Amino acid sequence: MSPLPLLCLLLLTLWSTDPVQTKLIRVPLRRVHPRHRTLNPLRAWGRPAQPPRLGSLTPGNKTGFVPLSNYMNAQYFGEIGLGTPPQNFSVVFDTGSSNLWVPSTRCSYLSLPCWLHRRFDAKASSSFKPNGTKFAIQYGTGQLEGILSEDKLTIGAITGARVTFGEALWEPSLVFDFGHFDGILGLGFPILAVEGVKPPLDALVEQGLLEKPVFSIYLNRDPEGAEGGELVLGGSDPAHYIPPLTFMPVTIPAYWQIHMERVKVGTGLTLCAQGCAVILDTGTSLITGPTEEIKALHAAIGGFPLLFGEYLIHCSKLPTLPPVSILLEGVWFNLTAQDYVIQISQGGFRLCLSGFQALDLPPPAGPLWILGDVFLGTYVAVFDRGDTSTGARVGLARARSRGAGRGGRGAAQGGRPG
């Protein structure tokens, strides 16, 4: 992700209904089970790089900056195809960036991640068209370089979409060695795209393969669940959430950035007291915020620091931990300890890690909070790019547990404050 100068959208009147349902394109998501991971600092836990200052980049720059902090904490990814016939790849669907890239068969022999993952072979595709423009992306926990190419994208039931994508030739960062995904498919706004490439979502809409630029992401946080979740293109599936959706305007259309009114920890601590900016980012596993506020939050819930910015919580205290409530568009979105504590079990040993982490983003981009997978696993998000009359918006509703019926309401939003 790369903060860029933009004019704020006018805050327009928003309706509180789900976008009109049309043909939905479904892409199943897989998840790496926690017991298959170890707490290895090479996985970039808690070591996000700070992005450049807002205004330091302009659209079309050679290098884009996408701070994907804690990518290795929880990996959600799905399958796409590139070329004719389709060559399959596992990609992370990332709302915090806007480029699509996969490793290439032409990658450097010294680039270990290329050889540990599936690679795109241009010679094996009859629909391939060379582009040759060089690109580079600096992620918060890794970097890569390569060339742009053009070919057909297969995603869900959509086939034949022509897209410009990156073939990674050089992935020097160890973080990609451990990734269970091959590449990344960005779902952010066009202005974040490196080299001014048209993002995949825009290409699908422009070519008439997707009626409107709307998608939703359901992440299954149940550690015993077989499925990892689902990306729905073209709308949302109410089977994933408990209605109604609460919509809020995107304030700066680069990231999916909205306004957060405040955060409460139990009844005794208020954070973001004067309101603050927050980004919904599937490329970030935890919830991040300014250092001093995250320290205060952990003092309130009894967390104590480990290496690399992680906080440990006594598992025995989970039943007594206070809720953390986030106020958005006048509605409280509540997180219980079961929501915001990551429980890892292996060999009879259980470890409880806080789902909150400090990340300081300097002005004018920051201070900034990021609602990552800890939040987006609890609340389904509908991302609506809108049009010239409505503007972009995000809808949120409590995720429906897989065993819940359609009629029941769980511990969802706390309602509008009195």
| Residues involved in catalysis | 94, 281
**CA 282/CA 7 separation, integer angstroms:** 24
Helix (H, G, I), strand (E, B) or coil at 216: strand
Report how far residue 288's alpha carbon sits from residue 355's, in angstroms, rounded to the nearest whole number. Answer: 8
Which sign does the torsion angle of CA 153, 227, 48, 7 carry? positive
The full length of the chain comes to: 418
Instruction: Report the distance separating Cα 59 and Cα 198, nearest Å.
Output: 11
Give the closest residue to 247 by CA, choosing from 214, 282, 205, 275: 214
- Distance in angstroms (rounded) separating the CA atoms of residues 260 and 244: 19
Where do the H-state alpha helices sit in 244-354? 291-301, 337-340
Handedness of CA 168, 169, 172, 177 (dihedral sign): positive
Q: Which of 158, 185, 189, 169 is nearest to 76 (CA)?
A: 185
Q: Which two tokens stand for residue 337?
A: 């300890």
Tokens 């795209």 appear where?
A: 193
Question: Which runs of E-coded beta strand occur in 203-285?
Answer: 214-219, 229-233, 246-249, 252-253, 256-260, 262-265, 269-271, 276-280
Separation between Cα atoms, residue 148 and residue 252, nearest integer Å: 27
Q: Let me know if 273 is exposed, middle or buried by CB neighbors in 10 A (0-12, 13-18, 19+).
A: exposed
CA distance 235 to 26: 10
